[in-house]
Structure 1
Amino acid sequence: MMRGSKKKKKKWDTGRSPVSELPDDLLVEIISRLIYKSTCCCQCVSTRWRDLISHPDHRKKLSQSTLAGFFFETWDTKKVSRRYQSVSGNWRPPINSSLSFLPRCEKLHILDCCNGLLLCKCWQDTDRKILDYVVCNPATEKWVVVPATNWSSKLYKAHLGFDPVVSSHFHVFEFVPTYVWDGDKSGDHSQRYIKVVGIYSSKAGVWTRQRAWDLPIETVHFIGSAFLTGILYLTSNNDLVATVDVDGNCSSVRVPKPHCPGCAYDVYVSRGHLYIANCDASEISIWVLEDFSTAKWTLKLNVSYELLFGTRYSSHDDHCCVISAHPEHNVIFIIVKYTLYWRSLVELFSYEMDSKELRLICDLGRESSFPYLSYVPLFSESLADEH
């Protein structure tokens, strides 16, 4: 009797297959007819296929990612719950919003989401000051631990940088403010003024601590971020968008329209460009950054709340914010918090900028809170030292 019933799968040798004889243009044309999930899998076939798919000249020809929904959290008097809201139908298998595949811990918060990966902060059962970051892929239920730093337990926010077209490795950005709340002192706990950034590289497997910047960055509530071509973008005060690259170098670009106190604005990536959304007391304006070096912005949308929502929206009691945009289509997603007949509502809308069609997706519940993290499923990329 032969020992073992499993047979080893023969690896496909693309170097000797007929496919290897195809010219690059024809191979790209074939791959362009595949759906996005299959295109991701093609990157794992060989180095040649990966380079063809990731080449900037070919990206527009190939199937792009599809926004599936949003991760967010709800707060009540007893606990924090993780939620997921679909915006493009049901995925199979369904998205596990509880993230039950992650290691058990006393408390877990989702901090950021970038191109299919989630960055979470996990507190241990034994000591609330002992924690780790976990980067996971909800589509494959794979995860990897990122060790915390001496600052991690005192910080409210960290960001994730990941672009699967460029590399399967990710970066975690941890920002150290000029003032850190220790839990006992009163005062300004916003942690807005950032002086140092620590960056974790999954490729190197270590954190690097950069020197303090000459002028600290004052961020706006750390609502969100955008990662594009190896650079993390953050909205900041003084009408600037701050940038941090994977080496910790900081820069900024002036926003196209000065914001008024109390208004909300955020950055996001769509169709390979950086966009900024400005939501002031009466209208939404959307701008795209055409040239970083010259701070050239182009206005894409300017629409009033009255035109969008009619008379039921009151600028005195209600709050409107653009939370994201579709990666490929001219569609933005809007959160509106308002009171209707003495009932508090948090509603999620989509707005098609070309057809000017506003669509109510759902009521997220009055306990839902920022950040609302847009999620694009990632099926093929693996994580180093994954579980």
Structure 2
Amino acid sequence: MATGSTETDLMTDPTIKLPDDLLVEIISRLPYKSTRCCKCVSTRWRDLISHPDHRDKLPQSTLAGFFCKNHGMDCDPRFHDVYHSVSGDWCPFDDSLSFLPEYEQLDILGCCNGLLLCLCSQPYAEKPDYVVCNPATEKWVTFPANRIVSFAHLGFDPAVSSHFHVFELVPIKGGHDYRIEEVGIYSSKAGGWTHQIAWDDPIEIRYFSGGTFLSGVLYLPSDNNSVAAIDVEGNCRIIPLPTSHDAPIVPNVYVSLGQLHLTNRGASELSIWVLEDSSSEDCWTLKLNVNYLQLFGEGYSSRMPYYGVISAHPEHNMVFITIGLRSGFQELVKLFSYDVDSRELCFVSDLGWYVRRAYLSYVPLFSESLADGH
């Protein structure tokens, strides 16, 4: 029985007997785009490529840039989706998404492991459509929204499956916009909305803090000193925030190096925590604690009311920070990177005037996912 199972495994994955070091050496000889495709082969390959011990051997410039909302300096009051590259032009793509069907309005709601989630509407349509697309391959799928009033998040892990999930969060009727009492789950594998779950105890989320998807679970920062964890069947559990002497003003969650990270922006310092074991309530490990003078230096310490952590690098021990420099009623937003290991803050680029959250980090996906799409 064991022999038959081993033979089947070898037929499925002939590299299964290769030691990790040899497999890493083979992958290191591939071009970067092929390395990205290798992350989709299996969880073992993904973990090897993402492991900190292999950073020096493998190309790791996975983060291409950020999508955000901006309406510039003109008289147009509407916000538009704008893409800002942080890696040069190594991965050119159509950031205007002109390959998609034409809609009167298109809003980018989320980004997860190379796929974008968009909400699209036409005049007189009963409900808007969701479009999930891969800008790197220009593949896309569309399906109708389940509810008219909702917030949506995308869940996708190409190392586990080529299929994705959309989480549609429904707020309490007539109540606070961000008190969520119900979740609908769309499965691309099933081709429809598979779950509609109403919770007895509503959760209060931070809409502009975004969320992140890891190991089949959507994590959302909550206003109740906790993180809400929602799986692909609509089950929700609450993870308390770690105890800190500096009460968090804006907690955020991100995935970096294969783990869930929490950033706490307090009144006087920034702390970063890692969730080591989500099955335990006391599982946060402190990774960084730095006051604002140490973080920004004297040149920026007086402007801290307008800063925020917007993302973490998926492959490096690094976070990205925006600082808004105000001039009258205008605000110029600058993007910085902060290396947690070297404690070095580096200017990346100007994001422009009138930039609005949420910031969506984009990591290109070159494999042909969305097999059933256009």
TM-score normalized by structure 2? 0.85
How far the C-alpha of 1:380 sits from its partner, in A, is 0.7
Give the direction of change, closer, same or farther, for the CA distance of 1:358–1:131 in structure 2 (3 Å limit): same
| Counterpart position of 2:30 | 34
| Structure 2 unmatched ranges of 5 or more | 1-7
How far the C-alpha of 1:259 sits from its partner, in A, is 9.1
Aligned-partner SS, 1:214: strand
| Counterpart position of 1:217 | 203
| Counterpart position of 1:145 | 142
Opposite residue 17 of structure 2, the aligned amino acid is D
Aligned-partner SS, 1:25: coil
For the residues of structure 2 that align with 1:378 and 1:269, how far apart are their CA atoms? 17
For the residues of structure 1 that align with 2:46 and 2:189, how far apart are their CA atoms? 21
For the residues of structure 2 that align with 1:58 and 1:82, how far apart are their CA atoms? 31
Give the direction of change, closer, same or farther, for the CA distance of 1:231–1:36 in structure 2 (3 Å limit): farther
Residues 266 and 278, structure 1, Cα contact 8 Å, conserved in 2: yes
Residues 82 and 97, structure 1, Cα contact 8 Å, conserved in 2: no
Aligned-partner SS, 2:23: helix
**Which of the pair has more CA radius of gyration?**
1
Residues 43 and 160, structure 2, Cα contact 8 Å, conserved in 1: no
For the residues of structure 2 that align with 1:212 and 1:113, how far apart are their CA atoms? 25
Tell which deviates more after alignment, 255-264 or 235-244: 255-264
1:271 equivalent among 251, 257, 263 = 257
Deviation per residue, 1:51-92 (Å, 9 max, x gap): 485575786467667111101111364233221111122124
For the residues of structure 1 that align with 2:242 and 2:339, how far apart are their CA atoms? 22
Aligned-partner SS, 2:320: strand
Opposite residue 323 of structure 1, the aligned amino acid is I
| Counterpart position of 1:377 | 364
1:166 equivalent among 141, 160, 167 = 160
Opposite residue 71 of structure 2, the aligned amino acid is W
| Counterpart position of 2:213 | 227
| Counterpart position of 2:118 | 120
How far the C-alpha of 1:335 sits from its partner, in A, is 1.1
How far the C-alpha of 1:258 sits from its partner, in A, is 5.5
How far the C-alpha of 1:317 sits from its partner, in A, is 7.3
Tell which deviates more after alignment, 163-172 or 31-40: 31-40
| Counterpart position of 1:183 | none
Number of matched pairs: 351
Give the direction of change, closer, same or farther, for the CA distance of 1:41–1:219 in structure 2 (3 Å limit): closer
Opposite residue 337 of structure 1, the aligned amino acid is G
For the residues of structure 2 that align with 1:167 and 1:21, how far apart are their CA atoms? 20
Q: Identical aligned pairs, as a percentage?
A: 54
Deviation per residue, 1:260-302 (Å, 9 max, x gap): 7882111000111100001122221111111222231111111
For the residues of structure 2 that align with 1:22 and 1:255, how far apart are their CA atoms? 41
TM-score normalized by structure 1? 0.82
1:292 equivalent among 270, 278, 282 = 278
Q: CA RMSD in A?
A: 2.8
Tell which deviates more after alignment, 300-309 or 113-122: 300-309
Residues 28 and 53, structure 1, Cα contact 8 Å, conserved in 2: no
For the residues of structure 1 that align with 2:258 and 2:215, how far apart are their CA atoms? 9
Aligned-partner SS, 2:201: coil
Tell which deviates more after alignment, 190-199 or 51-60: 51-60
Residues 208 and 358, structure 2, Cα contact 8 Å, conserved in 1: no
How far the C-alpha of 1:21 sits from its partner, in A, is 7.3
